[in-house]
Amino acid sequence: MVHAQRAAEGNKAGAGFSGPLEHYNSLIRDGLLREDEHQKAVLEKLEQMQKTLRGYTNTPTSFFSKFFTRPKPPKGYYIYGDVGTGKTMVMDMFYSHVEMEKKKRVHFHGFMLDVHKRIHRLKQSLPKRKAGKMAKSYDPIAPVAEEISEEASLLCFDEFQVTDIADAMILKQLFENLFLNGVVVVATSNRPPEDLYKNGLQRVNFVPFIAVLQQYCQTLRLDSGIDYRKTNRPSAGKLYFLSTEADAEATLDKMFDELAFKQNDITRPRVLNVHGRKVLLNKACGTIVDCTFEELCDRPLGASDYLEISRLFDTVFIRHIPLLTLNKKTQARRLITLVDALYDHKVRVVILADQPLEGIFVHDNDHDHNESHILMDDLGLKRDDASGLSIFSGEEEVFAFQRTVSRLTEMQSEEYWVEGERHTKQA
């Protein structure tokens, strides 16, 4: 049976329907989607919201309207459930039908990167204090929320997850201000609100955010028990190779050469400029890049580097992915972030790994505790206090890796591969 597609596809065909529900039903009639009562129930709620939001704005439309009370915004939605159940699809279908001027649909990770950049910019713009004068404490979060509120009345977030302490510490104040400024939020996540940042460092300071989120967003569960990314669908051919297979390396070389032949470029190293840092990739040709796992995940790269790779390339070869135990927890985190960025930008992947996809990440108990002990000491934590923290237990990685495996499975489908072709679209 044909799977639930990501609704980015729904966006393209969105015109001509009265709302997300009619659009969804038409895709079922055409055999492009399989009917799912759980998806439908969520879409019925989003359909109501789409009608309520028609023409809604959180900013005054004229000089006189500044003196009147702004309309009360409707409650948003926080949609959570297991990987591959169609959360992104229903949110994007809703987003494509919302008739309002100021709306934004962003990956949560990218959104928080932008927030930190804005905070940095505001701090930099402050006048330098004179020697010997006490600096007045300046809190940039409210002005940043004000800026964002002026740009969007509706914010749709994909993959709402909190793993970074810097994000965790500012979320309550940031979102409280967004909500008070009339911003409506719709988000998707793999976790219910109460499980966000579970076992994270200083979680006690994060918990008040959950109450704010629940006050302004209704929680909807979307769990059909089916991972549609893993349901049978035409394959794009072999894109995942094991290093034990005969001539696997040579096969990848040949694939790269065939793809490079269609590019109007030569194969050469490329240097990316990311926020003033130079990132060297040894082998690229046009919109294709051939990397090793070491190049992408052993170096201290992060979301901004992976977003730049996703922007520049439509096909990424990743060679020599090792078995990822907790000894390689940092590299595993980078791979998770990398796959999220590639998937979100429909970038195609060809992989050479030491293990089959399902067995690439192992939660073992025999890893070297030395690195964790150093970090515990730096944070002034006792061994017992730290045992439950996800940064030391690897629980967050195991959870996020389920999503990575699901996404990499979908990325091997013919439909994903065809849609990711940028070279011919730009020609």
Per-residue pLDDT of the chain (427 residues), as tens digits, is 334 344 444 444 455 678 899 999 998 888 888 888 999 999 999 999 999 998 888 876 545 455 555 668 899 999 998 878 889 899 999 999 998 889 999 989 889 989 999 998 988 887 766 555 545 567 899 999 999 999 999 999 988 988 788 889 999 999 999 999 999 999 999 889 998 988 778 889 999 999 999 999 999 999 877 766 666 555 667 899 999 998 999 999 999 998 888 888 889 999 999 988 999 999 999 999 999 999 999 999 999 999 999 999 999 999 999 998 878 888 998 999 999 999 999 999 999 999 999 888 876 654 445 555 555 555 555 555 555 555 556 666 677 888 899 899 999 988 888 888 775 554 3
Q: Say which residues have a Cβ less than 8 Å from residue 219's Cβ, sequence separation at least 6.
A: 77, 78, 80, 192, 193
Query: What pLDDT score does 67 carry?
Result: 53
Residue with tokens 């049978």: 232
Cα distance between residue 363 and residue 327, in whole Å: 10
* Pairing of β 315-321 and β 240-242: unpaired
Q: Which domains does the chain have, with CATH numbers?
A: 7-127+138-228 (3.40.50.300), 234-426 (3.40.50)
Whole-structure pTM value? 0.62
CA angle 182, 185, 188 (to 5 degrees): 175
Residue 187's nearest CA partner among 209, 169, 208, 207 is: 209
Which pair of structure tokens corresponds to residue 181?
């400024």
SS3 track for the chain: CCCCCCHHHHHHCCCCCCCHHHHHHHHHHCCCCCCCHHHHHHHHHHHHHHHHCCCCCCCCCCCHHHHCCCCCCCCEEEEECCCCCCHHHHHHHHHHHCCCCCEEEEEHHHHHHHHHHHHHHHHHHCCCCCCCCCCCCCCCHHHHHHHHHHHCCEEEEECCCCCCHHHHHHHHHHHHHHHHCCCEEEEEECCCHHHCCCCCCCHHHCHHHHHHHHHHEEEEECCCCCCHHHCCCCECCCCEEECCCCCHHHHHHHHHHHHHHCCCCCCEEEEEEECCEEEEEEEEECCEEEEEHHHHHHCCCCHHHHHHHHHHCCEEEEEEECCECHHHHHHHHHHHHHHHHHHHCCCEEEEEECCCHHHCECCCCCCCCHHHHHHHHHHCCCHHHHCCCHHHHCHHHHHHHHHHHHHHHHCCEHHHHHHCCCHHHHC
- Contact by Cβ (8 Å): 169, 202: yes
Q: Tokens for 355?
A: 């293990």
* Burial degree of 183 (CB within 10 A; 0-12, 13-18, 19+): buried
Does residue 216 contact residue 171 with C-beta atoms inside 8 Å? no
pLDDT number for residue 13: 46
CA 68 to chain centre: 38
CB 256 within 8 A of CB 286: no
C-alpha 400/C-alpha 255 separation (Å) is: 30
Question: Are 320 and 379 in contact, with CB atoms under 8 Å apart?
Answer: no
